[in-house]
């Protein structure tokens, strides 16, 4: 009974947030839904037979209806509250005008192939030569050089704009304003004039973390050439330097784009590798070391909100593997997801990293045991390879609907490409990490390790290049509808319910 109540609350709240992400019904509608739920509960209590309200073994549906509706109303209302403040009144009056503002670079610069994305916490607007206090966030698309760093105070002079919707790679209309709004960004500047005013204005801890990360990447680039260095930076510390559009397209076509996206899946790889290295220790000690690895990895990435969310999901996966208790970990994952969405409801629909992390985590928890059952023809003596196959099949299946919707590409050779690459990823991360660390002591000493790292990275990029260049390597699916995504996950849910043992106590590896 308790599980059904929990699932009704979470499903209702998530459904409300999901629906509100696409349609703005207004605050009055959200309040109406909450009152409607109360009225339904009163009707069931006093207008129907008592047995309808009392949950018995096979009679829970009507009891859960008002609870679901009430939770959906709260989900709608929470999104409404997150949408109340959309920017600053002073800046709103100057949309489309050339203005001058000041602010602090509040996140690590996201360096692309030909430009850099800077997120600025704007706090000052210049009007008739005098500063006026404002408070908002803006995305500044700047030249690659000069480079700026977290905590720099910058003067921005250019035309302020509001983000606009556009068609995504999958052919669907992409709500770019909502995507930026999840991070509190409501304005854009395209290639403005930028003046550095001062440095060191950010959070002390984050400033030093980013400085350490920057020095680490300098050590890597001193001994490993591009594009291998950028790939390693993305794998090891989530470094935001573009691999280039051509290579990123190859990743998408080959079906391995997830390895360069900071998500719960690749953080799980880190922890899982640590647990395997210390597999000779008691299980819970190995779990503890895996957890420490996740924390250290998250710190190295700069402890951004995306990394923290991914780390939480990764810890749930390794806890599930340590205990073998699927039902408990499912509740933990759903509750964790609930609080993440409660804190920022826009991530449910507009944060790809959150979605991929959540889907991959579900796949690892639920589909891996099912894959083991139906892919049992792989000899047990290939134990490590079996684990990779099971995990790969599970995660690929669970992220496929999202990839079809967001990217519009079905990768024909995604499974073999992943099977050839994923076994190498933990080794690549290990040698890459050691290469960067040894570089703090001596560049010369890091060169032998760099050769190993480079060979692994070169191999992975070559596999991707080969599979992406094969005839009929992918199918482009334009305008993959959202209802098809919902339907596919509904089929997954049905499959899990039918094929997962009722005990919910499956060993995960």
Helix (H, G, I), strand (E, B) or coil at 417: helix
Other beta carbons within 10 angstroms of residue 155's beta carbon come to 16
Predicted local confidence at residue 507, as pLDDT:
43
Q: Give the domain-ending residue among 174, 202, 230.
A: 202
Predicted local confidence at residue 278, as pLDDT:
62
CB 298 within 8 A of CB 253: no
* Strand partners of residue 411: 474
464 is a domain residue? yes
Do 152 and 195 lie in a common domain? yes
Predicted local confidence at residue 58, as pLDDT:
46
Largest alpha-carbon pair distance within the chain?
Answer: 81
H or E stretch at 284: helix 283-300
Do 339 and 465 lie in a common domain? yes
Predicted local confidence at residue 57, as pLDDT:
46
Do 265 and 394 lie in a common domain? yes
Do 161 and 262 lie in a common domain? no
Q: pLDDT tens across 94-148, in order?
A: 999 999 999 999 988 888 878 899 999 999 998 888 889 999 999 999 998 898 9
Other beta carbons within 10 angstroms of residue 476's beta carbon come to 12
- Crossing angle of helices 305-323 and 352-362, in 10° steps, is 0
Residue 426 belongs to what domain range?
A: 217-499
Do 24 and 165 lie in a common domain? no
What tens-digit pLDDT sequence spans the chain (509 residues)? 567 788 889 999 999 999 998 888 889 999 999 999 998 888 877 765 555 444 444 445 667 888 999 999 999 999 999 888 778 889 999 999 999 999 999 988 888 878 899 999 999 998 888 889 999 999 999 998 898 999 999 999 999 999 988 776 655 677 788 888 888 899 999 999 999 999 989 888 888 888 888 888 899 999 999 889 988 887 777 666 667 778 888 888 888 877 766 555 566 666 666 666 666 667 677 677 777 777 777 776 666 667 777 777 777 766 766 666 666 677 777 888 898 899 889 988 888 878 877 887 788 777 777 777 666 666 666 666 666 677 777 777 888 888 888 877 888 888 888 888 877 887 888 888 889 989 999 999 999 999 999 999 999 999 999 998 888 888 888 778 888 888 998 888 888 777 765 544 444 44
Please state whether the predicted TM-score (pTM) of the whole model is above 0.85. Answer: no
238 is a domain residue? yes
Predicted local confidence at residue 160, as pLDDT:
94
Do 194 and 124 lie in a common domain? yes
Sequence-distant (6+) residues with CB within 8 A of 451 are: none
Predicted local confidence at residue 110, as pLDDT:
84
Predicted local confidence at residue 181, as pLDDT:
87
Q: How far is CA 189 from CA 143, 154, 460, in A?
A: 12, 13, 37
* Strand partners of residue 139: 119, 188
Do 407 and 429 lie in a common domain? yes
Q: Give the domain-ending residue among 82, 103, 123.
A: 82
506 is a domain residue? no
CA dihedral 252, 256, 261, 266 (to 10 degrees): 170
Q: Count the domains in the chain.
A: 3
Q: Give the domain-ending residue among 202, 227, 248.
A: 202
Do 197 and 274 lie in a common domain? no
38 is a domain residue? yes
410 is a domain residue? yes
Predicted local confidence at residue 429, as pLDDT:
81
11 is a domain residue? yes
Do 383 and 285 lie in a common domain? yes
308 is a domain residue? yes
Do 246 and 392 lie in a common domain? yes
End-to-end CA distance of the chain: 30
Do 468 and 334 lie in a common domain? yes
211 is a domain residue? no
Do 98 and 74 lie in a common domain? no
């Amino acid at each position: 009974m308790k599980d059904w109540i929990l699932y009704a609350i979470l499903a209702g709240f998530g459904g409300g947030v999901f629906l509100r992400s696409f349609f703005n019904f207004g605050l009055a509608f959200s309040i109406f839904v909450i009152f409607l739920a109360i009225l339904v509960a009163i009707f069931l209590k006093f207008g129907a037979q008592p047995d309808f309200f009392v949950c018995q073994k096979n009679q829970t549906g009507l009891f859960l209806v008002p609870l679901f509706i009430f939770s959906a109303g709260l989900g709608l209302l929470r999104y409404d509250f997150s949408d109340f403040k959309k920017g600053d009144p002073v800046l709103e009056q100057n949309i489309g005008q050339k203005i001058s503002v000041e602010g602090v670079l509040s996140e690590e610069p996201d360096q692309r192939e030909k430009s850099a994305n800077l997120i600025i916490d704007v706090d000052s607007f210049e009007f008739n030569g005098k500063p006026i206090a404002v408070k908002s966030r803006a995305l500044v698309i700047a030249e690659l050089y000069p480079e700026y760093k977290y905590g720099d105070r910058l003067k921005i002079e250019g035309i302020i704009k509001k983000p606009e919707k556009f068609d995504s790679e999958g052919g669907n209309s992409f709500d770019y304003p909502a995507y930026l709004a999840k991070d509190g960004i409501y304005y854009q500047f395209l290639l403005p004039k930028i003046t550095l005013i001062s440095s060191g204005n950010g959070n002390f801890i984050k400033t030093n973390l980013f400085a350490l990360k920057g020095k680490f990447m300098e050590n890597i680039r001193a001994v490993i050439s591009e594009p291998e260095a950028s790939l390693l930076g993305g794998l090891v510390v989530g470094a935001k330097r573009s691999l280039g559009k051509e290579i990123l397209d190859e990743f998408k076509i080959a079906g391995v784009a997830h390895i360069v996206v900071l998500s719960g899946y690749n953080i799980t790889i880190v922890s899982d590798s640590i647990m395997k290295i210390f597999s000779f220790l008691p299980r819970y000690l190995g779990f503890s070391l895996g957890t420490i690895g996740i924390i250290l990895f998250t710190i190295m990435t700069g402890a951004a909100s995306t990394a923290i969310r991914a780390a939480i999901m990764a810890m749930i996966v390794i806890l599930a593997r340590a205990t073998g208790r699927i039902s408990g970990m499912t509740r933990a994952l759903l509750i964790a997801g609930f609080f993440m969405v409660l804190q920022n409801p826009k991530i449910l629909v507009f944060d790809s990293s959150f979605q991929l992390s959540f889907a991959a985590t579900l796949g690892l928890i639920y589909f891996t045991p099912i894959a083991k059952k139906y892919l049992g023809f792989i000899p047990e003596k290939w134990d490590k390879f079996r684990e990779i196959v099971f995990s790969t099949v599970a995660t690929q299946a669970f992220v496929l609907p999202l990839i079809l919707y967001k990217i519009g590409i079905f990768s024909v050779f995604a499974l073999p490409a992943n099977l050839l690459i994923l076994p190498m990823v933990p080794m690549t991360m290990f040698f890459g990490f050691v290469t960067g660390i040894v570089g703090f002591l001596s560049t010369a000493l890091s060169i032998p390790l760099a050769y190993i790292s480079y060979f692994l990275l070169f191999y992975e990029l070559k596999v991707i290049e080969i599979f992406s260049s094969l005839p009929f390597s992918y199918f482009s699916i334009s305008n993959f509808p959202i209802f098809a995504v919902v339907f596919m996950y509904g089929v997954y849910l049905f499959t899990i319910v039918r094929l997962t043992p009722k005990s919910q106590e499956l060993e995960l590896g």
